[in-house]
Amino acid sequence: MASSSSNLISLKTSDGTVFKVERALAKTMKTVQAIIEEADANIYMIPIHNVFSHHMDMIIDYYKLSVAGKSKEFSVEKLDNDELKDFLLAVHYLNMEDLFEVLTQAVADRLEKKSVGYVRKYFGIENDFTPEEYAAIRKKNDWAFKGDDIEPEEDEEKQEE
Amino acid sequence: MKRQKKSETDRLSDLPDHLLLHIIEFMITKYAVQTCVLSKRWKNLWKSLTNIKLLYHFDRYNGDILVNKIVSHILSSRDNFVPLHSISYVNGCRIWHDVFPFKTNILAEIMEYAASHNVQQLEIDTQTDHIRNLELPPSIFNCDSLTSLTLSLRDVYKSNTKMFPKSFNLPALKTLKLVCFTFFTGDNGYAEPFSTCNMLSKLVIYTCNLQDDAQGLCISNSKLSNLAIGTSNSHSNIHKLILSTPKLTSLTIDGIPPIFPAPSTCNLTLFEELKFDCLDGDTMGEDIFISWLHLLAKIKIITLSFKILKLMVNILKNNSSMRAQLPSFVKLKSLKVEAYPWKCDERIREMHAHHLFFFFFIFFFFNVNYDANNGASSSTIAISSPSKPSVQNPKPIIKDIF
């Protein structure tokens, strides 16, 4: 805490890039903050696994916007679904509350009307229902599937099993 | 490469249940329920949702019967022991006038469920023309847990309002939004509906009425900081507004230009922002206009819709004696004129074309005290549209004008 360059924290991403970030930004990353607090001596460089430099770029963008009161202008539209998932996991690792909320909303929006097969793939979920179990649970909650225009991929799923 | 891909896709599944649940909390609940077929782990996950979101849109009206069944199922299938934080029922479908009203209990069902499950936030926003004999259960008006309540129950074709209960007990309520209600008149001849809500800090009243014998609407809440009031039709009978709200900082007028004169603000020491969000209506009574003009002169932060600015300019154009008595806007720190996207692109272009003239007119109109000695004045004027970034009026232009 008494180091001379105490305003900037160095973070090293998985791909080896070093980012010098403001202490205030580092504070929003609870994982990083915990590392800083636990360190006995001054810590020069904090490695952040699972976080790549393109993630840090977006994190810094978000931080700048939220400091200016414009966090609503932050958009992840240009990320495809996998990039968004990746980013969500990075932000989860860093334990950044606000940005995590923004990204979970974005993921939810994208998954909302997707088919069962798509969502399984996205989350990496293995279908452990037997065809009978699947049919039973689908029938029981049939009311939740009414009035939709979701592609009925369930039939394809059953055939794969 | 393949191995790396596999571990990537597994990682979302490595998230603990409560985080997966967190993701589906953001979905419209109907779709969140559909996750029950993903795998055994997901089968009952949705039942622990703490926020229920029921949203229906214009292009999907299949008859309320379908919608009501889904809502009923969600409420009855979820885990009763999981605390429920919020319920939101927003039915944006346009229900045509030829739909025959039928008896449905779904709104009452939602309200009773919310009350019995200690919900903190409840929002119900729907057209109600098609509902026969809609009754509001008293339980929702006597709920200790409620901190935020929105009730927008609009009879579009019949212009009916619901009676807001005379007495109720919502001790924790901080935010209240009411659309299409009529308020009972109190013993003092005024309608003073919210004085028992001691925690109330934000209040929105839209298209509400008073009983015929009421002299006006009185808002008296010690913690209220934001008030928005307005109406979409000229049949509103709120002709007087009294504010006993010492913590009030901001007042917004929505809908048509106000039909009541500006309230007295001498006891409102924190009051600094006035917003006219009027997008409809073409007239304002002269006396009423003058009273609001005098109030505007005392305000620090003003936001005007382009429509109401135009209306004000027109009234002044035709009234030279009014122009001669324009008050000085000595407190003005920021004036924002908002143009709206669907009407706006030509308007914004118009404004840019008459840029200098327009700002000159604004300054003349508002008789702003520009401190020429202190060049770094903190006054700002901006024209903005929600879809475009603000066009800040830079000080050099102000200097040029003068």
For residue A50, with 0-12 CB atoms within 10 Å meaning exposed, 13-18 middle and 19 or more buried, which class applies? middle
Q: How many Cβ pairs within 8 Å bridge chains A and B?
A: 95
Of A108, A125, A147, the CB nearest to B38: A125
Report the gap between the CA of A122 and the closest CA in chain B (Å). 7
* A137 pLDDT higher than 50: yes
| Most confident residue range from B221-230, B291-300, B379-388, B390-399 | B221-230
Range in A22-36, A121-135, B258-272, B362-376 with the lowest mean pLDDT: B362-376
ipTM: 0.81
pLDDT for A132 beyond 50: yes
* pLDDT mean over B170-199: 95
CB proximity A83 to B under 8 Å: no
Cβ–Cβ contact A137 with B under 8 A: yes
Q: CA B345 → CA A5, A28, B14, B278, B336, distances in Å?
A: 49, 39, 49, 18, 17
Instruction: Report pLDDT for B177.
Output: 98
Asked if B13 and A123 come within 8 Å (Cβ–Cβ), the reply is yes
Task: Name the pTM for this structure.
Answer: 0.82
Contacting residues of B for A137, CB less than 8 Å apart: 36-37, 43
- List chain A residues with CB under 8 Å of B37: 116, 129, 134, 137-138, 141, 154
Q: Is the pLDDT of residue A61 over 70?
A: yes
Q: What is the pLDDT of residues B208-258, one digit of tens each?
A: 999 999 999 999 999 999 999 999 887 889 999 999 999 999 999 999 999
Mean pLDDT, chain B, as a whole number?
Answer: 81
Q: How many CB atoms lie within 10 A of CB B245?
A: 25
pLDDT at B402 over 70: no
A37 touches chain B (CB under 8 A): no
CA distances, B127 to each of B10, B61, B97, B328, B395 (Å): 45, 12, 11, 44, 48
- Cα distances (Å, whole numbers) of residue B343 to B89, B300, B346: 30, 28, 8
pLDDT at B383 (0 to 100) = 54
Q: Residue A120: list chain B partners with CB under 8 A.
A: 38-39
Q: With beta carbons less than 8 A apart as the criterion, state whether B141 and B165 touch.
A: yes
The identity of residue A86, as a single letter, is D
pLDDT computed for residue A4 by the predictor: 43
Contact A127 B66 (CB under 8 A): no
φ and ψ at B226, to 5 degrees? -125, 130
Nearest CB to B38 within list A104, A119, A144: A119
% of chain B with per-residue pLDDT over 70:
78
CA B315 to CA B335: how far, in whole Å?
A: 19
Is residue A85 predicted with pLDDT exceeding 80? Answer: yes
Q: What is the mean pLDDT of residues B157-170?
A: 89
Q: Which distant-in-sequence residues (6+ apart) come within 8 Å of B47 by Cβ?
A: B77, B78, B79, B82
Query: Do A128 and A64 contact (CB within 8 A), yes or no?
Result: no
DSSP 8-class letter at B102: B
What are the structure tokens assigned to A103, written together? 């990204």
Q: Which of A74-83, A89-98, B291-300, B307-316 has the lowest mean pLDDT?
A: B307-316
Distance from CA of A126 to the nearest CA of B (A): 7
Comparing CB atoms, the residue among B31, B41, B73 nearest residue A112 is: B31
What residues of chain B lie within 8 A of the CB of A55, using their CB?
A: none
Contact A128 B40 (CB under 8 A): yes
Task: Answer with the residue of higher pLDDT: A124 or B1.
Answer: A124
8 A C-beta contact, residue B330 and residue B297:
yes
Q: pLDDT digits over B9-48, tens only?
A: 446 777 888 889 999 999 999 899 999 999 999 999 999 9
Does B207 have pLDDT greater than 90? Answer: yes
Residue A90 in contact with residue A74, Cβ under 8 Å? Answer: no
Of how many residues is chain B composed? 402
Contact B257, B278 (CB under 8 A): yes
How many C-alpha atoms does B287 have within 13 Å on its Cβ side?
Answer: 4
Distances (CA, A) of B380 to A1, A24, B96, B306: 41, 30, 46, 17
Q: How confident is the model at residue A16 (pLDDT cuts 50, 70, 90)?
A: very high
The C-alpha atoms of residue B209 and residue B191 are separated, in whole angstroms, by 10
Confidence band of B321 (pLDDT split at 50, 70, 90): confident
Query: Which of A22, A157, A15 lies closest to A86, judged by CA?
Result: A15
Q: Do B12 and A113 touch (CB under 8 A)?
A: no
- Backbone dihedral region for residue B92 (phi beyond 0: left; psi -120 to 50: alpha; all else: beta): alpha
CA-CA distance, B73 to A140, in Å (whole number)? 11
Please name which of A151, A134, A144 lies closest in space to residue B31, comparing C-alpha atoms.
Answer: A144
- List of chain B residues whose C-beta atoms are within 8 Å of the C-beta of residue A154: 37
Mutate to test the interface with A, among B28, B31, B78 (most CBs of A within 10 A): B31
Give the pLDDT band of residue B392 (cuts 50, 70, 90). very low
Percent of chain A with pLDDT over 90: 53
- Per the CB < 8 Å rule, is B36 touching A128? no
Q: Is A89 in Cβ contact with B60 (below 8 Å)?
A: no
pLDDT tens, residue by residue, B125-140: 998 887 888 889 999 9
Answer with the residue of higher pLDDT: B397 or B276. B276
Q: Are A137 and B36 an interchain contact pair (Cβ–Cβ within 8 Å)?
A: yes
Among B31, B87, B371, CA closest to A109: B31
Distance CA B164, CA B98 (A): 27
When pLDDT is cut at 50, 70 and 90, the band that residue B6 belongs to is very low
Cα B241 to chain centroid distance, Å, stands at: 18
Q: Is B7 exposed, middle or buried (0-12, 13-18, 19+ CB in 10 A)?
A: exposed
**Separation of alpha carbons B143 and B277, rounded Å:** 32
Percent of chain B with pLDDT over 90: 49
Q: What mean pLDDT do residues B308-314 have? A: 82
Which pLDDT band, with edges at 50, 70 and 90, does A101 fall under? very high
pLDDT of residue A41: 64
Residue B156 has pLDDT above 80, yes or no: yes
pLDDT of residue B352: 46
User: CA–CA separation, B293 vs B280, rounded Å?
Assistant: 19
Question: What pLDDT is recorded for position B280?
Answer: 81
Is A161's pLDDT higher than 80?
no
User: How does pLDDT run across B41-99, given as a tens digit for each residue?
Assistant: 999 999 999 999 988 765 445 555 667 788 889 999 999 889 999 999 998 877 777 77
Q: What is the pLDDT of residue B59?
A: 45
Are the CB atoms for B91 and B80 separated by under 8 Å? no
User: 10 Å Cβ neighbour count for A112?
Assistant: 17
Q: B248-301, pLDDT tens digit by residue?
A: 999 999 999 999 999 999 899 999 999 998 888 888 888 999 999 899 888 999
Q: What is the gyration radius of the CA atoms in chain B, in angstroms?
A: 25
Position B150 scores a pLDDT of: 97
**Average of per-residue pLDDT values in chain A:** 85
Verify whether the Cβ–Cβ distance A145 to B26 is below 8 Å.
no
pLDDT for A78 equals 93
Main-chain phi, psi angles of B151, to 5 degrees:
-125, 110
The angle, 0 to 180 degrees and rounded to 10, between the axes of the packed helices B64-77 and B106-116 is: 20
Q: Out of A18-27, B54-63, B359-368, which region has the weakest mean confidence (pLDDT)?
A: B359-368
d(CA B229, CA B219): 11
CB contact under 8 A, A89 and B19: no
Q: Are B335 and B367 in contact (CB under 8 A)?
A: no
Instruction: Tell me the C-alpha distance between B239 and B210, whole Å.
Output: 9
Residue that is written with structure tokens 């706006």 in the block:
B344
CA of B191: how far to CAs of B215, B218, B283, B319, in Å? 8, 6, 26, 35
Return the residue in B3, B5, B12, B42 with the most chain A beta carbons within 10 A, the one to mutate for interface testing.
Answer: B12
Nearest Cα of chain B lies from the Cα of A116 at a distance, in angstroms, of 6
Indicate the residue type of B15. Answer: L
